[in-house]
Homo-oligomer: A and B are copies of this chain.
Amino acid sequence: MLNTSGTTISPLSVPQRLLLGPGPSNSHPLVLEALSNQPVGHLDPFYIELMAEVQGLLREVWQTSNRLTLPMSGTGSAAMEATLANVVEPGETVLVAVKGYFGNRLVDMASRYRANVRTINKSWGEVFSLEEIEESLIKFRPSVLALVHAETSTGVCQPMIGIGDLCRKYNCLLILDTVTSLGSVPLFLDEWKVDLAYSCSQKGLSCPPGLGPFTMNDRAEEKLSKRIGSVPNWYLDVSLLNKYWGSDRVYHHTAPVNMNFGIREALRLIVEEGLENTWNRHKVNAEQLWKGLESLGLSLHVEKDIRLATLTTVKIPEGIDGKKFALHLLNNHGVEIGGGLGDLAGKVWRIGLMGFNSKKENVDKVLNLFDSELSKFKS
């Protein structure tokens, strides 16, 4: 006997939202158009060519020549896990520099790969100095240092000059989280001597969530090739994925074909605009937002010189229910902004200007809303 719910569900009707939170951000219309193509086979010659295009574009946007550059068939968190799963062996020391929510996630993940996890910590809203990094490398002598470039939970951008050199000096690999910087904030993976990095599709790339760009260089590949045990994660095992994304084209899993159509267009559009133009657009719009918020009497959580162009943390003024205000913007104005996470829960809003959404009209829109609506929430 068949069990049926008996209820009828109507066809999908999605409300229009302007996504100015921590991500997802809105997608470029051409990306959405790309997504809506009929799929092709994952071994179709057309698709094989598209895979190479995606890899080439990703290398350019990341400023790397890493051969092993590909989008993982999962979200950014899957790509994050892939970095650790592939290069960490049980018992090895992994040092995580924690200055926000996503540093803590790295700690959790690394421990599942049976690493000896050590941490250094900073207040949420601050960044690490070179001296602090060097001291900790001397103290813990890790095999891997994992660090977040653009902390989505706090809105800081970690200065990177010199960190890669320290990692080479103390013979450890450098993993960098670029989830909220890829395609929007200056990134020079090779110049910075980053060994592994990961990102997502739904922020600076203006594509829906669902793919996790991943890259590793020769140093990281060498560590992978010298593993004693196999990678304890089949889906994210780069040695298998490399046979599909490399020249062998051996079937691993059925690729998320349509999402790859989308990211191909997303990356193409960034390269078409010009990487420096894109970075500059994000900077200009963020500065306008900061100026506007401050002229409304609001305070920003992060010092200007380490502030992230893609994600701004705004202190919730005394007496305002931040959650209620955000819900009001969503329900009555179709605008999403984010609340605080972890140490900053209830203390800040998070306003994102990412990819396609980093434009003047969105800056004006959110400033106008803060101007006209916030006073209604004063107790």
Q: Show the binding face of A for B, using Cβ within 8 Å.
A: 2-5, 8-9, 11-12, 14-17, 19, 21, 23-24, 26-27, 30, 32-42, 44-46, 50, 53, 56-57, 60, 63, 65, 73-78, 81, 105, 108-109, 111-114, 200, 202, 208-210, 230-236, 251-259, 261, 264-265, 268, 271-272, 275-276, 330, 336, 341
Contact = CB atoms under 8 A, between A and B. Distances in A.
The 10 A-B pairs of least Cβ separation, nearest first, read A210-B256, A36-B36, A77-B253, A208-B258, A14-B37, A74-B74, A32-B36, A109-B234, A209-B254, A24-B39
B202 A2 contact: no
B24 A76 contact: no
A209 B256 contact: yes
A257 B336 contact: no
Contacts of A11: 30, 265, 268
Q: Which of A4, A32, A208 has its CB near the most chain B CB atoms (within 10 A)?
A: A208
Contacts of A45: 330
B32 A37 contact: yes
A33 to B, nearest CB: 7
B17 A77 contact: no
Contacts of A56: 5
B26 A39 contact: yes
Most chain B beta-carbon neighbours within 10 Å: one of A42, A50, A230: A42
Contact of A24 (B41, B112, B251): B41
A27 B38 contact: yes
Contact of A254 (B23, B39, B268): B23
B60 A39 contact: no
Contacts of A108: 234
B257 A208 contact: yes
Nearest to A253: B77
Copies per assembly? 2
A357 B147 CA distance: 47
Contacts of A113: 232
Nearest to A113: B232
Contacts of A26: 38-39
A261 B36 CA distance: 12
Contacts of A259: 208, 210, 256, 259
A169 B40 CA distance: 45
Contacts of A44: 17, 330, 336
A37 B65 CA distance: 34
B261 A76 contact: no
Contact of A261 (B14, B112, B230, B271): B14
Given A17-B44, A39-B202, 12 more contacts: A5-B60, A8-B272, A12-B261, A14-B37, A17-B40, A24-B257, A39-B208, A45-B330, A77-B235, A77-B253, A105-B234, A111-B230
Given A109-B234, A233-B233, A9 B271 contact: yes
A97 to B, nearest CB: 19
The listed residue with most B CB atoms (<10 A of its CB), out of A12, A16, A236, is A12
A19 B36 contact: no
A4 B78 contact: no
A235 B80 CA distance: 9
Contact of A41 (B251, B255, B265, B336): B336
